[in-house]
Amino acid sequence: MTHTRTELNALLDAHDLGPSRALGQNFVVDPNTVRRIARLADVGPGSQVIEIGAGLGSLTLALAETGASVTAVEIDRHLRPILETVVDGLDVTVVAGDAMALDWPALLARHEEWVLVANLPYNVATPLVLDLLRDAPQISRMLVMVQLEAGERLVAGPGSGAYGIPSVKVALRATSRLVGKVGPDVFHPRPRVDSALVEIVRRDRPVTDADPDQLVALVERAFNQRRKMLRRSLAGIVSPEQFAAAAINAEDRPERLSVEDWGRLTQAVHR
C-alpha cells in the first residue's frame, strides 16, 4: 500500500502539519505515479536503494513493495517520526540529515553498489545529482523526479538550447535520458510546473582522460559567456594553436561542443 491523497492529507492533519515551502516539499499523492517510478528504477530483491527527501513515505512504500532494501533520508524533524511509523516492519532504514551535507562515504560504506531513487526538491535537485555523480561512485544508477526544465538540462546534448554546464558534467561520468513526464496534479501542494523522470547510469570510467576539474573549469568559463564565441570567452586561456590541436573551431559557441570535444580541448590546454 502507498498513500492516496486522502490518506496523506489525513496524516498531515493528524499531526497538525503542512508541506514546508522552505524545504521545497511537494508530496506525491498518486499511488500509480510512485509505483511507476519504482518500476522504472528497476529495483527489487537484493537492490540497495537510497531515497532522498522521503517525506511521509509515498515513494518509500512503493520501493519497499518491490522487495528492495531502502535507506530513506529525511531532513524534516517533524516528518521523520511519522515516516518511521509508516514504514515500521518494512525493510526501510530512516536516516536523519540534509542530503547536501551528509557524510555520504560513511552512509554508503555498508554496500558496494546503490541505486538512488528520489522525488527531489526542486531547489537542490541539480547540485545534489551532480555532487553525487562526482563524489559517490557507489551509486551506480539514479532515477530521479525533478522539475522538467532541470531534467531537460541534465539530459541535453550538444546543439540543444538546454545544453549547458549540468549537461556536460553528467555526460562526463554517465549516460542519461528522460524516461517520463509527470503533471502537477499528482502532488500536494500542486506545483506550477511539470516534472521529469530522469534515468542516469554511471559509466565505468569518465568518457575522456582529461582531468575532470580542469575540464569543468574550462566548461564553466565558456558557458558563463555562452553567447560569445569560444575564442572570446576563452581568450587568454586557450590559444589559437590549442584550438587547432584539439580540432575545435574557435568560432563556435560552447553549446556546440560535446564532452569529448571539451576533453580534447582541456588536454590541449594542459599538455
Spell out the domain ranges in the chain: 5-202, 212-270
**Is CATH 3.40.50.150 correct for 5-202?**
yes
Which of 174, 56, 64, 53 is closest to 122 using CA atoms?
A: 53
Compute, in degrees rounded to 10, the torsion defined by CA atoms 150, 79, 110, 113: -30
* pLDDT digits (tens), the chain, 271 positions: 688 888 888 888 998 888 888 888 899 999 999 999 999 999 999 999 999 999 999 999 999 999 999 999 999 999 999 999 999 999 999 999 999 999 999 999 999 999 999 999 888 999 999 999 999 999 999 999 999 999 999 999 999 999 999 999 999 999 999 999 999 999 989 999 999 999 999 999 999 999 999 999 999 999 999 999 999 999 999 999 999 999 999 999 999 999 999 999 999 999 8
- What is the model's pLDDT at position 24? 86
Rounded Cα–Cα distance for residues 13 and 191 (Å) = 20
- What is the model's pLDDT at position 100? 95
**DSSP classification of residue 18:** -
Question: HSE (CB half, 13 Å, CA atoms) of 15?
Answer: 17
Q: Cα separations (Å) of 178 from 49, 150, 153, 188, 196?
A: 20, 11, 10, 23, 7
The secondary structure element, H or E, covering residue 263 is: helix 259-270
CATH placement of domain 212-270: 1.10.8.100
